[in-house]
């Protein structure tokens, strides 16, 4: 999309965000493909401040300069990391994690099962720490509730949950399952419904101190 916008001569700023993105990925992979500003925004709760700065001429210029300098620093950091030596793959495999599996556990079932908890049941499982992180409030839950601002936010969220539960506004549905899986060479092979699905994976190849294994997820499955 950056290439397409660049080809059309667009200069509108791009805001990059979401769980699969990062400041470094934005600086290295996207910003250099587009002449307009490309800003990484951690999540939707941060967009308002960035757009507010962009709409003010003086703050927009300062934001652009800070962003350019930050992205250049991130690109230099990335190049420095890329220059670090990697262990040959065969040596990394030879230094794999040695796992004593013993008798592998047997799940109570294989295949898929539905899961339909009530919102009230799910409420007991909420990790409230992430609510405060999204609002850029610092502190650990529940100690953070000593802050009047955090307490107000927490009370508002619980009032909304009370309303959702009382009015039965949402239904939660999910599935979970277990399937036979094994290690084959450097791959994981899962066997749902009798067929095989092969998952190729990466192994750590960075140089490590003596005694530290070069891990790969496949090391933790029975061959």
Query: Percentage of residues in the chain with pLDDT exceeding 90?
Result: 78
Same domain, 94 and 78: no
Same domain, 14 and 70: yes
pLDDT per position as a tens digit, 136-184: 899 999 999 999 999 999 999 999 999 999 999 999 999 999 999 999 9
Same domain, 131 and 47: no
Same domain, 78 and 94: no
Structure tokens at 197: 């699905």
Tell me how far apart the terminal alpha carbons of the chain are, to the nearest angstrom.
42
d(CA 142, CA 169): 27
d(CA 181, CA 222): 8
Flag whether 112 is in a domain. no
Same domain, 99 and 191: yes
CATH no. for residue 6?
3.40.50.280
Same domain, 78 and 147: no
What are 55-61's contacts with CB under 8 Å, separation 24+?
none
Same domain, 66 and 101: no
Flag whether 212 is in a domain. yes
Question: pTM (2 decimals)?
Answer: 0.55
Sign of CA dihedral 135, 141, 147, 153: positive
Query: For residue 176, what are the contacts with CB-CB under 8 A and spacing of at least 6?
Result: 112, 113, 115
Flag whether 185 is in a domain. yes
Same domain, 132 and 155: yes
Same domain, 74 and 12: yes
Same domain, 145 and 201: no
d(CA 160, CA 52): 28
Please report, for the chain, how many H helices and E strands are present, in that order: 8, 7
CATH no. for residue 126?
1.10.288.10
Q: Is the pLDDT of residue 125 over 70?
A: yes
Based on the structure, what is the number of domains in the chain? 3
Instruction: Provide mean pLDDT across the span 20-37.
Output: 92
Instruction: Provide mean pLDDT across the span 120-134.
Output: 94
d(CA 92, CA 198): 21
Q: Is the pLDDT of residue 14 over 90?
A: yes
Sign of CA dihedral 38, 39, 41, 47: negative
Q: Is the pLDDT of residue 84 over 80?
A: no
Same domain, 103 and 183: yes
Same domain, 96 and 186: yes
* Chain centre distance of CA 24: 14
Structure tokens at 194: 């009798």
* 155, 172, 189 - which closes a domain: 172
pLDDT reported for residue 80: 80
Query: For residue 117, what are the contacts with CB-CB under 8 A and spacing of at least 6?
Result: 172
**What is the span of the domain harbouring residue 194?**
89-107+179-220
Question: Judging by beta carbons within 10 Å of its beta carbon (0-12, 13-18, 19+), is residue 92 exposed, middle or buried?
Answer: buried
Q: Is the pLDDT of residue 82 over 70?
A: no
């Amino acid at each position: 999309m950056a290439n397409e916008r660049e080809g059309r001569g667009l200069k509108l700023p791009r805001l990059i965000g979401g769980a699969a993105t990062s400041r470094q990925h934005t600086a290295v992979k996207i910003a250099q493909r587009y002449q307009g500003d490309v800003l990484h925004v951690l999540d939707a709760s941060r967009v308002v401040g960035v757009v507010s700065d962009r709409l003010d001429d003086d703050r927009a210029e300062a934001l652009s300069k800070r962003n350019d300098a930050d992205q250049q620093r991130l690109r230099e950091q990335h190049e420095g990391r890329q220059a670090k030596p990697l262990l040959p793959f065969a040596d990394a495999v030879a230094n794999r994690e040695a796992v004593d599996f013993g008798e592998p556990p047997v799940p109570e079932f294989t295949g898929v099962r539905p899961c339909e908890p009530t919102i009230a049941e799910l409420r007991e499982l909420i990790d409230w720490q992430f609510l405060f992180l999204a609002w850029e409030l610092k502190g650990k839950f529940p100690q953070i509730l000593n802050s009047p601002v955090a307490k107000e936010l927490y009370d508002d969220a619980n009032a909304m949950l009370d309303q959702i539960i009382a009015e039965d506004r949402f239904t939660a549905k999910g599935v979970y399952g277990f399937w036979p899986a094994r290690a084959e060479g450097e791959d994981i092979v899962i066997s749902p419904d009798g067929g095989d699905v092969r998952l190729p994976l990466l192994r750590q190849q960075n140089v490590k101190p003596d005694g530290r294994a070069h891990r790969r997820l496949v090391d933790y499955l029975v061959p």
